[in-house]
Chains A and B, each alone.
Chain A
Amino acid sequence: MKYLDEFRDGRLAQGLAARIRREIEPDRRYALMEFCGGHTHAICRYGIEDLLPAEVRLIHGPGCPVCVLPSGRLQAAIDLVERERVILCSYGDLLRVPGAQGDTLLKAKARGADVRMVYSVSDALEIARAQPDRSVVFFAIGFETTTPPTAVVLRQARREELGNFSVYCNHVLTPPALRALLATDFSSPHQEAATRGAGVVNGFIGPAHVSTIIGTRAYEFVATEYRRPLVIAGFEPLDVLQSILMLVRQLNAGEVRVENEYTRAVGAEGNRKAQQLMEEVFEIRPSFEWRGLGELPNSALAIRPEFADWDAERRFAVPAIQASDHKACACGEVLRGVKRPEECKVFATACTPDHPLGSCMVSAEGACAAHYHYGRFRQAVAS
């Protein structure tokens, strides 16, 4: 597989790992947060931590759209499909995510709701075309990567005047989340916890595919305002190692820059056409709840009034539901990098991929699920 296999070469990995070990300065800390779940997945899947020296610590960030979806929004979708008898289409990732009281779309499907998994938002549009007598709602989630396809389909639905199609929009934006992490209040009484969280992150491994759309320039504030180096990195394991090396070098040299390791797919400006489409179809919500991070200003997208007829939230008057997560669940702290998955009381006991209490245990990119699936042996060996 061209452009994948080359970036998974174990021999080069050993060489890069040796280079990283060589350049580490013994008294320096290298706490690096990979913002994206895609990186978390690659790190766990390929065992990248086994190749790194102890001085380099990787902290898993909140970059998994499934994990940060607040359970109230999910519960609203479950209520919608059961109340309105619509066809609710979504990406496979969402089906097992627990809403309020652990309910899921899969359970709703088992109770008789018409929940369908699609590979693409276009497939949801196709279902609406094929079944004009049914109302079809697409449950849209995702960061800037996944948003432009939703914009394309909304425009298409309007062009076709497709009256039985609408979108339940949960698209969120990555820079505000990064900003929220960086703005953590370190003078808080929870000093000990805070010092282990994003506040002590020395550098960031930045988003791969989000950046294909928004470009590297969108992250300049991390360097200029918050004085942290950031390296945009591809999701293949060699990309991750290479970006770690780049961060180590910046930290050693006392530099604070936004660098780009993923130049084969990412430019400074991103994809202008996709940005224009997003701008045309969506507007910024003044505030949106992120699971684990709370309400973040200007951090999510809503469908513009011009497309109101295709906005499921307006069409079905979807209520805002305040659902609290399971009390023992530490997803919020895990998402902020304050807790490691195994430090959550219910990790691998009450909360497992088969019976997830929190969203981090569901998505393949969730820090807890990745840790459990690929890394549990470390714990067992340690205990």
Chain B
Amino acid sequence: MCLAIPAQVTELIDPEHAVVDMGGVRKTISTALVDDLQIGDYVIVHVGYALNRLDPEEAAETLRLIAEFSEMANDEIPG
């Protein structure tokens, strides 16, 4: 449910609108649900609305955890 993707804020148009970019595709979205966005922030976009900020540190932490579990498993695979 709820197709939503991470995109980066590249331009603030007015308090309720911003331009975001993902993979070179730009779209004007509503920022009515998220306060105080800054250029460079990542947001989760759904039906043309930012639902929430994406926290880069948490993303890195999740990836670190995944890599940690994954590597441990790899290490234990014989050969």
Contact = CB atoms under 8 A, between A and B. Distances in A.
A65 interface: yes
A2 B8 contact: yes
A213 B51 contact: yes
Contacts of A210: 1-2
Given A22-B76, A265-B52, A265-B55, A143 B66 contact: no
A209 B54 contact: no
Contacts of B61: 263
A149 B69 contact: no
Given A213-B51, A263-B61, A265-B54, A242 B44 contact: no
A63 interface: yes
Interface of A: 1-4, 6-7, 11-19, 22, 36-38, 63-65, 91, 119-123, 142-143, 145-146, 148-149, 152, 207-210, 212-213, 235, 238-239, 242, 245, 261-266, 271, 273-274, 277, 365
Given A12-B70, A209-B1, A120 B49 contact: yes
A271 B52 contact: yes
30 contacts: A2-B8, A2-B22, A3-B54, A15-B67, A16-B73, A18-B70, A18-B74, A18-B76, A19-B73, A37-B1, A38-B2, A91-B47, A120-B48, A120-B49, A121-B47, A123-B48, A143-B2, A146-B47, A149-B46, A152-B49, A207-B2, A208-B4, A209-B51, A212-B44, A238-B66, A265-B53, A271-B51, A271-B52, A274-B33, A277-B33
Majority DSSP secondary structure for residues of B touching A: mixed
Contacts, number: 150
